[in-house]
Each structure stands twice: as C-alpha cells, then as structure tokens.
Amino acid sequence: MNLLLICGNKMLSNYNTPVTNIKGVGPKTAEHLSKLDINSVGDLLEHFPRSYLAYGGLKKISELVYDEMAAVRVRIDNVGNIRRVKNNMTLLTLEVSDDSGSMIIKYFNMPFMAKAVRKGGYYIFRGRVLKSGKEISMVQPKKYSSDEYSELSGKFQSIYPLTKGLSNSQVSKAVSKALEIADFTEDYLSDEMRKDLGLSEIKSAYRKVHDPGSLSEASEGRRRLSFDEMFFFVMYLRKNRELIKDRENTCPMVESAEVTRFIERLPFKLTKGQSKACKDILADMTGNHLMNRLVQGDVGSGKTIVSIIALLNAVSNGYQGALMAPTEVLASQHYRTVMELTKDLKLPFKPVLLTGSVKASDKKKIYSDIESGEVNLIIGTHALIQDNVVYRNLGLVVTDEQHRFGVRQRENLAAKGNSPHILVMSATPIPRTMAIVLYGDLSISAIKDMPEGRKPIKTCVVGESYRPSAVKFIKDEIEKGHQVYIICPTVEADDEDEADPELKNVVEYTERLRDTLGEKYRISFLHGRMKPSDKDNILSEYARGNIDILVSTTVIEVGVNVPNATIMMVENSERFGLSQLHQLRGRVGRGQDQGYAIFMTAKDDEKTSERLGILGKTNDGFEISSHDLKTRGPGELFGVRQSGDFAFRVADIFADADLLQKASDYADSILEKDRHLSAPENKLLKNELEFFGRNYLDFRTI
C-alpha cells in the first residue's frame, strides 16, 4: 500500500460533475473509472498520463534497437501454425522480413491474427523490440495498414494508468471530452506572477498535459501543475505552522532508566548520529512542547532502533506508542523485530500488529485491547490511525519511511483527545535547505554516519555473458550461509494490447531457476499481487534464513531488513530508475558481511552503461537522484519516481527543485504582506487554498 498526496483545483466550477454526465461515458466505463478513483470531471482532468508515445517514422529491421517501441513495414513470409504453449495459451508465430533482414512476430492468445494477415502481404507492425541471440522479435505488436499508420505518424499519444477492462483509448476519449466541458474560472495566479515564473495559464496547462502537440508543450503544462502542487503544499504548511509549533506538551515524560539499560544491552554501539537523534527526541519528549521531529538518514543508517528507543521511553512513561509503516510487509517486519527485542531484553512492550488484512474478528479484540490499554505498542499500516481505533493514552506516533503524517491527521488525532508526540523517519535524500521547505513544521535530526564495520556495497553492471559467473557467485555465497535477492522488473503495459508480464516474470523465472540450480537450493518468490499474509509468510521465512534465494518484484524495495542477505541481483536493470536501484541495493550490506549488487542488463549500449555506471561510482542518494533526472527517457514526464516521502501527483522534488524554492519564496512573500489572505487580490488564492486544505491535503490509499 502506498499513500499518495493529491492536489486538486477548484478553478473548475464543474469539478464535481459526475463522469456519467460526460458524453460517451456509460455506466460500465464509469464503474471501471471509479476503480481508479475517478468519479468526476475534475478527477478525470487530474488523471495524468504516465508517459507519452510518439508514433515515429518507420524503421528497417536492421535498425531496431532492443527494448525500444518501434514500427516496421514488413512482408509476411510465413504464417505459422497455432500452437498450444504452457498455461493453456496459444502461440501464433509470423515470419516477416524487409530488405534489411528478417524477424519474428509472436501473438499469444490471438489466433485470429492468422486470418488478419496474408502471406506475401505488406503490413506495419508497431511494438516493443526484443532480441535474443540473433533473433529479433516483437510480441503482440499492433498491426496497421500504411494509410492507418501515416495518419498517426508524428502524433503524440498520452499513455494513462489503466485498470482491467479499461483501455487507453477509452480514457483518452473521456479526458478529451472532460477538457471540452471543463469550466475553468479565472486563474488564481496573477499574470505577473505567471510571467515571472514562466508558467502557463492553468487551463492551457491541463490541455498541454493531456493533449500535447510536442514533448516540450507537455513539459510546460506539467511545470505549471507541479508549481501549483508545491505552492499550495508550502502555503498550507506555512499558514498552519502555529497549529504544530510550540504546542503545549500534553504528554510529558521523563527520561526512563529503561532506555539507558536498553542502549547498554544492545549488541552494538549506537553511531554518533543515532545517539544525537535519540538525545534530541528525549529532550523533546521531556520538554515543554510537543515533539514534531524528522529523523533523516540514508538506507541502512539504523533509523529503526532510534524509533524503538523513542517508543520505549513513551511506554516506560505509561503511554501507548504507535509505529506506522507504509506497507504491511514492513509493518510485520517491525513487529517481528520488536517481539524479538522484547523477549531477549525483557522490554516493557506489549505489542500488537494492526494492518488492513487482519481478520475482522481479530480486529475487534485488538481495538478493545487498545482502548483498555491492554496493549501499549501498536504497530501497523495507516489502519492504526483510522477513526474506529480509540487509544487509551497515545503518547507517541512514529511513521516510518515514505510518507508524512499529514497535518490533517494530526488534527484528527488531536480532535479525538490525543495530542501525541510525532516522530517521522525518512530515507529520502534531500539537502537540508530543501528539507526545511518541505518539512517546514518539523525539527530535523540527521543521521549522517553508518554503523561501524559497514562495507560499501560492491556494485557491478553486467551483460548476459556474465550470467554463468553470476550464478557461480550466487552459489558460493549461499554455500557460505548467505542469502540472495533477485529482482525482476514490473513491466507496465504500454498500451492495452501489451500483456502485463509481472506475474509471469517472477513466477516463471523462479521455475526456470529451480530447474537450473536443482533441488539443493530453497527458492521462493514474492510479488505485489500475493495475499498480504502469504507475502508476510515468505518474508519471515526469508528473514529466518529458511529461503536461500528470493525472486521478487520491487515490493521489497522499501525498508526490508535481512542482514544475512548479501547479494542483490536485478534483472533488466535498465528498466529501473537509478534511485530505485539504489534503494534496492540498500537491502544488502546491512550487516558485517560484504554486500554485492549485480545489475544485469540486456541492453547493450553506451547510454545505458553510462547511466547505470553512476551507481558504481557513488553511494550518495541525492547525487543519484539528481542524475536520474538527467538521464530520464523522453516522454517519461510523470510518475517516474514512485518512492520517497513526497508522493506529489505531478511534482517531483528533484526535477522541480528550482520551482520548489520559488514556491517557497512566493508563499513567504505573499503571507508576509497578507497573513490571512484577506486582500482582494488574494481572494482567488484564498479560496483555492481552502479547497486544497479541505479536500486534498490528506493521504489517500492507492
């Protein structure tokens, strides 16, 4: 589960008009759209494309590059028989050629394609290019006649996030109708401000983003929407600062002897950064004001123990503590860690795990235990701050990784009679100046050092020819008692006809690996569509050392901690963002042993090796993130970075760092002159900000 911060625009007087009022959107489409949380005209306009595709010119077969989307005009040399392949699928193979070479076209479960082409005929096929040895192929490409294709050629297609039963063209059509009827009022950013910032007018920004004439137009539109998102976020923080800052300490504590005892008994010495963070936290909790603190530290810097120390102090002072994680997998891991520590070191914790997938009957008991004070440490996903949870005396809330505890949620808790101390843990690598803007209302403790004895992870980027050595290396590490992660990419469908091979990848890969390596190795797999309880079982087995190799999608990207794992191998690493690869390799080298990251790439070109090569050169998360941007593919304007604390819908704190600073400067200067936004020229802005605060500055489950 991810939490997403979303921004909206009230600029639209018909924002809330239901999608069913749009011509061409029937009840069935509306039902599918609602699965994507799209229910109104406004929602549709804010369903932004994931990327853009250009229908480029035709290529020759000999010019095709692995993994690109390309179109070729070819002659059908042979239409193969329809064969049954595994998983009860059918496979049709076409042999095709042009004057530069030949290639194979494969259609799974589309037997009718055999009739749609004629041996000796010429057609255009557009799809993703695959290469294996000498063989060039496309799987499920789209077929066009020359006329059809020349009509499309040179155009841009917006690619939207989809759900089962909904096609890209259905979404495109609905969005363009929504754009037609969207009733924008006057822009709340003055002409002067827009001119100064070089931003598009709001209405045209939406048009540019959904229906750009060129990539640069799309990027102009995106820039305006990013600015708005960050601007209102910062404005809201600034305006509500007094709600957060310097509030009376309603959960006063003393520094408990349990904490000192615990730190002494830990099997390791706290790093300087960890000690300082603990000191800051204890000073806050024993001070005059409620704590609102951020602990920032790169992956592996040991933030969990810091949060446990804070929780221990709260519990020892007779309060309840809550630890909130972004995923169930991570929540269970924390729960296990706490259970073990509690047992080994006889800590006064009475922990309970509360996540969305806990059975309703068990939940009832958990709720009553929380209300009666039977349990004093509640670990879970954001299920633990939902309305039906009533705490007896909540003194501290810790949120770990990836999302902020929203201002609004703090207000909600306060309204329930709880004004706990707040501690936020983050691995998002941002410089202090940026953190001050984004976490404006929080005090910051930065952990800059790594635990002693940590060895930097050895990273290599290699091609297919290295595979036998990689396999041998993996076997050797397992021989030594270590464990291995192998990550397969989650390939998103580029359009409705491209099958989503996520499941197949991980599952088939595991099967193949079992065949290659034999019975001797314990291999399991993990992917996002498994039941939470199954995921959890696999991970705890892995954590206990009962699995040698875990084949997984990126579900393990955030926070998973198994110090005995020493190899992180990533297949098709060219498909991942650099920051994501950095997070992934952070899963190994978390103990005393040397960690290794093997990034396999099938794409053999200079740009790819240069891009991935950065990972071999630096371990600095911020530098890696910044580099990620520069090397981003054309058309990938949206949603490249899914992880990080600031799941803005459009804005990217790295790509838009300059805009963020400007948004912050503008927010300051406007509020300085007109604190309550009561001047007539700020009326529109005030409305918009209220709308933002009411409807959007909240966290929503996706």
| Binding interface with ligand ADP (CB under 6 A) | 268-271, 274, 297, 299-305, 427, 451-452, 559, 561, 563, 590
Q: Which does 297 bind (CB under 5 to 8 A by kind): Mg ion, ligand ADP, none?
A: ligand ADP
Instruction: Let me know: does 440 contact 234? Beta carbons within 8 Å.
Output: yes
* Long-range Cβ contacts of 534-541 (<8 Å, 24+ apart): 535/328, 535/329, 536/328, 536/329, 536/332, 539/329, 539/332, 539/333, 540/332, 540/336
**Stretch of residues binding Mg ion (CB under 5 A), selected from 21-29, 287-295, 433-441, 551-559:** 551-559
Angle between helices 303-316 and 257-265 (to 10 degrees): 150
Query: What is the number of H-type helices and E-type strands within the chain?
Result: 24, 24
Residues facing residue 59 across a β-bridge: 72
Amino acid letter, 17: T
Closest residue to Mg ion using C-beta atoms: 559
Q: Whose Cβ is closer to ligand ADP: residue 543's or residue 667's?
A: 543
299 binds, among ligand ADP, Mg ion, none (CB under 5 to 8 A by kind): ligand ADP
**Min. distance of Cβ 334 from ligand ADP in angstroms?**
9
Buried b (16+ CB within 10 A) or exposed e, 370-398: beeeebbbbbbbbbbbeeebebeebbbbb
Nearer to Mg ion, 21 or 275 (CB): 275
Residue 22 φ then ψ, to 5°: -80, 135
| Sign of the torsion angle spanned by Cα atoms 498, 503, 505, 508 | negative
164 contacts 24 by C-beta, under 8 angstroms: no
> Minimum CB separation from ligand ADP for residue 656, in Å?
26
The label of the residue with tokens 């229910």 reads: 39
Candidate ranges 86-94, 151-159, 554-562, 637-645; the one touching Mg ion (CB under 5 A): 554-562
Give which of 97, 94, 118 is closest to 108, Cα–Cα.
94
We find the least distance from the C-beta atom of residue 45 to ligand ADP, in angstroms, to be 38
**For residues 392 and 320, is the Cβ–Cβ distance under 8 A?**
yes
- CA separation for the pair 373, 376 (Å, rounded): 6
Instruction: Report 579-598 residues binding Mg ion (CB under 5 A).
Output: none
Minimal distance, residue 593 CB to ligand ADP, in Å: 12
Other Cβ atoms closer than 10 A to 108: 14
| Tokens of residue 97, six digits | 């050629």
For residue 320, what is the enclosing H or E element?
A: strand 320-324
Stretch of 187-195, 547-555, 559-567, 692-700 contacting Mg ion, by CB under 5 A = 559-567
**Identity of the residue, 271 or 601, whose beta carbon is nearer to ligand ADP in the bound complex:** 271
Query: Which of helix, strand or coil describes residue 421?
Result: strand
Instruction: Note whether 376 and 311 are within 8 A (CB).
Output: no
Q: Choosing among Mg ion, ligand ADP, none, which partner's interface includes residue 590 (Cβ < 5 to 8 Å by kind)? A: ligand ADP
- Pick between residue 269 and residue 279 the one whose CB is nearest to ligand ADP: 269
Among Mg ion, ligand ADP, none, residue 305 binds (CB under 5-8 Å by kind): ligand ADP
Q: What is the nearest approach in angstroms of ligand ADP to the Cβ of residue 181?
A: 48
Binding of residue 559 to Mg ion (CB under 5 A): yes
Minimum distance of ligand ADP from residue 645's CB (angstroms): 14
Three-state SS string over 252-309 comes to CCCCCHHHHHHHHHCCCCCCHHHHHHHHHHHHHHCCCECCEEEEEECCCCCHHHHHHH
With CB under 5 to 8 Å by kind, the binding choice for 380 among Mg ion, ligand ADP, none is none
Please say which residue, 532 or 595, places its beta carbon nearer to ligand ADP: 595
Pair of tokens at residue 645: 């604390």
Residue 566, binding choice from ligand ADP, Mg ion, none, Cβ under 5 to 8 Å by partner class: none
Would you say 8 or 559 has its CB closer to Mg ion? Answer: 559
Closer of 173 and 261 to ligand ADP (Cβ):
261
Burial (Cβ within 10 Å: 0-12, 13-18, ≥19) of residue 133: exposed
Q: Which of 84, 59, 86 is nearest to 71 (CA)?
A: 59
CB of 267 to ligand ADP, least distance (A): 8
Extract the tokens encoding 484: 């291995």
Q: From ligand ADP, Mg ion, none, which one binds at residue 301 (CB under 5 to 8 Å depending on kind)? A: ligand ADP
Tell me how far, at minimum, the Cβ of 344 lies from ligand ADP, in Å: 12
Q: Which does 158 bind (CB under 5 to 8 A by kind): ligand ADP, Mg ion, none?
A: none
Among ligand ADP, Mg ion, none, the one that 442 touches (CB under a kind-dependent 5 to 8 A) is: none
Half-sphere exposure of 126 (CA within 13 A, CB side): 21
Q: Could you tell me the smallest distance in angstroms from the CB atom of residue 307 to ligand ADP?
A: 8
d(C-alpha 299, C-alpha 555), whole Å: 16
Q: What is the DSSP secondary structure assignment for residue 693, as one 8-state letter?
A: I
Binding mask 506-525 for Mg ion (x = CB under 5 A): --------------------
Residue number with CB closer to ligand ADP (557 or 571) = 557
Q: Give me the least distance between CB of 278 and Mg ion, in Å please.
A: 16
Q: How far is the CB of 248 from ligand ADP (least distance, A)?
A: 31
Give the total of residues touching Mg ion (CB under 5 A): 1
CB 238 within 8 A of CB 692: no
* Minimum CB–partner distance for residue 333 and ligand ADP (Å): 9
Nearer to Mg ion, 425 or 650 (CB): 425
The entry of Mg ion, ligand ADP, none near residue 49 (CB within 5 to 8 angstroms by kind) is none
Q: Which residues contact residue 254 at a Cβ distance below 8 angstroms, ignoring those fewer than 6 apart?
A: 286, 317
Query: Alpha-carbon distance 347 to 263, whole Å?
Result: 12
Nearer to Mg ion, 429 or 559 (CB): 559
CA dihedral for 636, 642, 643, 647, sign (positive or negative) = positive
Q: Which is nearer to ligand ADP, 590 or 649 (CB)?
A: 590
Q: How far apart are CA 282 and CA 445, in angstroms?
A: 12
- The smaller minimum CB distance to ligand ADP, of residues 304 and 553, is found at 304
Please identify, using beta-carbon distances, which residue of 38 and 435 lies nearer to Mg ion: 435
Instruction: Between 19 and 450, name the residue whose CB sits nearer to ligand ADP.
Output: 450
Rounded least distance, CB 268 to ligand ADP, Å: 3
C-alpha angle 640-328-259 in degrees, rounded to nearest 5: 110
Shortest approach of ligand ADP to residue 4 CB, angstroms? 22
Q: State the nearest-atom distance from the C-beta of 296 to Mg ion, in Å.
A: 12
Instruction: Output the residue with the shortest Cβ distance to ligand ADP.
Output: 302
- Smallest gap, in angstroms, from Cβ of residue 502 to ligand ADP? 26
Kindly tell me which of 333 and 625 has the beta carbon lying closer to Mg ion: 333
Angle at 77 between CA 74 and CA 83, to 5 degrees: 110
**Could you give the count of Cα atoms lying within 13 Å of 283 in the half-sphere of its Cβ?**
9
Among residues 212 and 273, whose Cβ is nearest to ligand ADP?
273
What is the contact surface with Mg ion in residues (CB under 5 A)? 559
